[in-house]
């Protein structure tokens, strides 16, 4: 199967076609596909999904992906890799981390908020204009528009996965999503605060979480923090002491001790040598 590579930090492409049947392929980068016009099928990992105007799809590295076009279609592709992520500020990195580490990665349009669709469309149309222009500040505007689309995507994924019915937990995913959304807010990760958010007792929510995941709330929270820290070490050049403070550790030594106890190496060694 063909592998597609990206030779810059990001790439934009407008594809207009009456008949198009892409051969299945995999990417080594992340891809967002917005449908401007047309109907047909998008095939992701053997799932066949009808597409139509104003749908937005996320395609992850190693996903098998192709299109079958039924009517005249216009697609806009936003492709980016780790080099692009390294250029982002901390808020954009957090949104990207949420998409990569929290999203269930199931196929389908991620835009669940109807009012966001025209905003995404406007941003895409602005990207198309900027792509073809030589106007001042073109590069900065393009990146701001890409980041706007990423922010809307993160918000829709958050709303999509936050399901609490009648004050009761519908499965364990709402608790997991709550943790992911508040991972940078230590006060909100205390068991009393989590329990209050779901109108449950601390003892019950702790037992419920362990029953459905096999691990305690605090253990899960620490593992998720460390997973995000791994991403920071791999994808960014942020200093380790800054990462430690951002994730609620008292200092770099505290992070070093915890990271090594779970991962078998210090953060600096992990950054230097990669994954274990």
Question: What is the mean predicted confidence (pLDDT) over 52-63?
Answer: 87
Q: What is the pLDDT of residue 80?
A: 87
Question: What is the mean predicted confidence (pLDDT) over 169-184?
Answer: 77
Question: What is the mean predicted confidence (pLDDT) over 240-262?
Answer: 93
pTM beyond cutoff 0.85: no
Q: What is the pLDDT of residue 171?
A: 65
Q: What is the pLDDT of residue 276?
A: 43
d(CA 24, CA 44): 9
**Predicted confidence (pLDDT) at residue 204 exceeds the cutoff of 80:** yes
Per-residue pLDDT tens digits for 114-149: 899 999 999 999 999 999 998 889 999 999 999 999
Question: What is the mean predicted confidence (pLDDT) over 253-257?
Answer: 95
Token pair in block for residue 183: 């991972």
- The label of the residue with tokens 């990462």 reads 243
Per-residue pLDDT tens digits for 187-202: 999 999 999 988 889 9
């Amino acid at each position: 199967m063909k592998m597609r590579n990206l030779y810059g930090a990001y790439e934009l492409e407008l594809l207009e076609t009456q008949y198009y049947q892409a051969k299945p392929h995999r990417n080594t980068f992340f891809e967002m596909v917005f449908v401007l016009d047309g109907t047909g099928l998008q095939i992701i990992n053997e799932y066949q999904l009808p597409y139509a105007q104003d749908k937005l799809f996320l395609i992850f590295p190693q996903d098998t992906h192709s299109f079958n076009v039924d009517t005249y279609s216009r697609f806009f592709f936003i492709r980016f890799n780790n080099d692009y992520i390294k250029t982002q500020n901390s808020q954009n990195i957090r949104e990207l981390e949420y998409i990569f580490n929290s999203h269930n990665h199931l196929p389908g349009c991620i835009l669940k908020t109807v009012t966001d669709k025209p905003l995404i469309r406007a941003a895409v149309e602005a990207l198309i204009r900027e792509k073809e222009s030589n106007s001042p500040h073109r590069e900065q505007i393009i990146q701001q528009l890409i980041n706007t689309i990423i922010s809307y995507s993160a918000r829709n994924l958050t709303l999509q996965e936050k399901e609490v019915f009648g004050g009761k937990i519908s499965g364990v995913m709402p608790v997991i999503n709550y943790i992911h959304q508040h991972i940078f807010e230590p006060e909100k990760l205390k068991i009393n605060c989590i329990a209050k958010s779901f109108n449950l007792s601390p003892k019950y929510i702790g037992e419920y979480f362990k029953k459905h995941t096999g691990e305690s709330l605090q253990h899960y929270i620490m593992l998720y923090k460390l997973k995000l820290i791994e991403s920071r070490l791999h994808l960014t050049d942020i200093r380790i002491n800054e990462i430690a403070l951002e994730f609620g550790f008292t200092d770099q030594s505290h992070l070093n001790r915890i990271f090594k106890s779970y991962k078998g190496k210090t953060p600096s060694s992990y950054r230097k040598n990669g994954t274990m």
